[in-house]
Amino acid sequence: MSGPRPPAGADLRIALVGAGFMGAFHADTLARLPGASLTLVVDASHEAATRAATPHPHARASTTLDDAFADDVDAVVLATPAATHPALIERAAAQGQAIFCEKPLATDLTEARRARRAVHAAGVAFQVGFQRRYDRGIARLLAAARDGSLGTLETFRSTTFDPYGPDYATMRTAAGIFHDTLSHDVDLALATFGPVADVFTRGTSVLDPRFTELGKPDTIGVSLRFANGAIGTIDARLRSGYGYETGLEIAGSRGKGVVRDDRIDGFTLHHEGRTETAFVPWFLERFETAYRAELEGFVDAVRHGRPPEPGIDHALEVLRVCLAAERSYLEDARVALEATLPEADPS
């Protein structure tokens, strides 16, 4: 699905909705991206919108959401809280605009399905922001998994450890570890192993016991069984105590591929009695190039009439698995996806 696109050779006129931390980063990327024209930055905070737009001479700031869904906008980039995504997607689809949406697609399955119906009905291009697959090392591993270099795929292992961890006030309004963190790992699992049959989750709250009352643990371990019989494990923590760390391991009958992302460079310092390496401080330092590459891929696909990847069907499948993992944690039981969260939209 690609939908309408601007005339050949014309820049894609883009409105950025949301000028927080990631929105401001995307504004900088879009303003420098060939084939893209950042024309508008919208945020409820006039200060935030102005701060993101001012460095870029062709962009104007607005606090009026309607401005993003106007006739002079070809595409929207959504960098708003997760709960707002479905309604914004529906508005953009109704306007015939191409859509880039930061993950997760939603936190509610009914709303996500409604957004998907809107995208399909309008025939517009859609891409969800799972930037890791645009990382060069991960892209090479995914290619090896798909082209048979690893043989028959047998096991999947992924880890995501954030450095600091949120406080209680932040966690109350956050989408939580199952959507903000786990969705990245699930994206890569589905991209290589296909549909998930069932999940089982263990979780705990080590930062603040009140997180458990919110149903939002800060540390989880998820066991996956894929529909093809392969198995996988995902470990996620919101506080590592040392830095940002992710790892991906895919093993098959002919070998194993590993991408480790915990070191900021290749330097290791050996002392008597200890060894030191410099850990990546946060996710943007690790995936800056990948974040820019995913928007470049989105703009290029829309301008040339190709479906961007990953699309909305995949985004919905990721959400289904994350919701199943969350339910497994809450119920302390194995959750089968088709039995509890069927893929098909209810008629």
**Pairing of the two strands 245-252 and 255-260:** antiparallel
| Statement to judge: residues 100 and 158 lie in one domain | no
> Any residues with CB less than 8 A from the CB of 271 and at least 6 apart, and which?
none
Domain boundary among 107, 124, 141: 124
The letter for the amino acid at 341 is L
The confidence score (pLDDT) of residue 274 equals 86
213 shares a domain with 105: no
- Local confidence band at 346 (pLDDT 50, 70, 90 cut-offs): low
Helix/strand/coil percent split, the chain, to 5:
40, 25, 35
pLDDT above 90 for 273: no
- State how far the Cα of 251 lies from the Cα of 157, in Å rounded to an integer: 9
Which residues, 6+ apart, have CB-to-CB distance to 145 below 8 Å? 153, 192, 250, 252, 257
Q: Is the pLDDT of residue 245 over 50?
A: yes
At 235, give phi and psi (nearest 5°): -115, 130
If pLDDT is split at 50, 70 and 90, which confidence band does 82 have?
very high
Residues 59 and 91 in one domain: yes
| β pairing state of 231-237 and 219-226 | antiparallel
Tens of pLDDT, residue by residue over 2-52, are 555 566 567 999 999 999 999 999 999 999 999 999 999 999 999 999 999
Could you tell me if 214 and 100 lie in one domain? no
Tell me what the mean pLDDT of segment 59-84 comes to.
97
Give the span between the Cα atoms of 56 and 203, in whole angstroms.
44
Which of 116-120, 249-253, 282-286 bottoms out in mean pLDDT, i.e. has the lowest? 282-286
Helix/strand/coil for 247? strand
Instruction: Give the list of residues 6+ apart from residue 300 with CB closer than 8 angstroms, or none.
Output: 35, 306
Instruction: Give the model's confidence band at 254: pLDDT under 50 very low, under 70 low, under 90 confident, else very high.
Output: very high
In the chain, % of residues over pLDDT 70: 95
**Model confidence band, residue 262 (pLDDT cutoffs 50, 70, 90):** low
The pLDDT score that the predictor gives to residue 149 is 94
SS3 269: strand
Number of compact structural domains in the chain: 2
Q: Is 88 a domain residue?
A: yes
Q: Is the pLDDT of residue 240 over 90?
A: yes
Q: What single-letter DSSP state applies at residue 346?
A: P
Spatial separation of the C-alpha atoms in residues 38 and 15, rounded to whole Å: 6
pLDDT (average), residues 125-130: 98
Mean pLDDT of 152-164: 96
Pair 31, 56: CB distance under 8 Å: yes
User: Where does the pLDDT of residue 347 fall: very low under 50, low under 70, confident under 90, or very high at 90 and above?
Assistant: very low
Last residue of a domain, one of 124, 153, 177: 124
**Whether residue 268 has pLDDT greater than 80:** no
Residues 143 and 117 in one domain: no
Lowest mean pLDDT among 47-51, 84-88, 148-152, 338-342: 338-342
Q: Are residues 119 and 139 in the same domain?
A: no
CB 264 within 8 A of CB 242: no
Q: Do residues 206 and 59 share a domain? A: no
Q: Answer whether residue 297 is part of any domain.
A: no
Position 341 confidence tier, pLDDT thresholds 50, 70, 90: confident
More confident site: 85 or 281? 85
Q: Which pLDDT score, from 0 to 100, does residue 339 have?
A: 78
What pLDDT digit, counting tens, does each position of 175-229 carry? 999 999 999 999 999 999 999 999 999 999 999 999 999 999 999 999 999 999 9
Task: Report yes or no on 51 lying in a domain.
Answer: yes
pLDDT band at 281 (very low <50, low <70, confident <90, very high): confident
Q: Cα separation of 96 and 75, whole Å? A: 9
User: Do 71 and 106 lie in a common domain?
Assistant: yes
Query: In the chain, what is the straight-line distance between the N-terminal and C-terminal CA atoms, in Å?
Result: 23
The domain boundary, picked from 95, 124, 153, lies at 124
345 lies in some domain: no
Res 324 pLDDT > 90: yes
Is the separation of the CB atoms in 201 and 224 below 8 Å? no
What's the CATH code of the domain at 326?
3.30.360.10
263 pLDDT tier (thresholds 50, 70, 90): low
Name the H helices within 7-157. 21-32, 46-53, 85-95, 109-122, 136-146
Range of the domain at 25: 12-124
Are 173 and 247 in a shared domain?
yes
Question: How are beta strands 75-78 and 12-17 bridged, if at all?
Answer: parallel
Does residue 140 register a pLDDT over 80? Answer: yes
**What average pLDDT does the structure give for the chain?**
93
* In a domain? residue 155: yes
Question: Any idea what the CATH number is for the domain that residue 74 is in?
Answer: 3.40.50.720
Q: Do 80 and 216 have their domain in common?
A: no
- Which SS3 state, helix, strand or coil, does residue 278 take? strand
| Statement to judge: residues 114 and 87 lie in one domain | yes
**Residue 271 belongs to a domain:** yes
Domain shared by 328 and 191, yes or no: yes
Q: What's the pLDDT at 159?
A: 96
Residue 202 lies in a domain: yes
Q: Is residue 3 part of a domain?
A: no
How many CA atoms lie less than 13 Å away from 324 in the CB half-sphere?
Answer: 27
In whole angstroms, give the CA distance from residue 204 to residue 195.
27
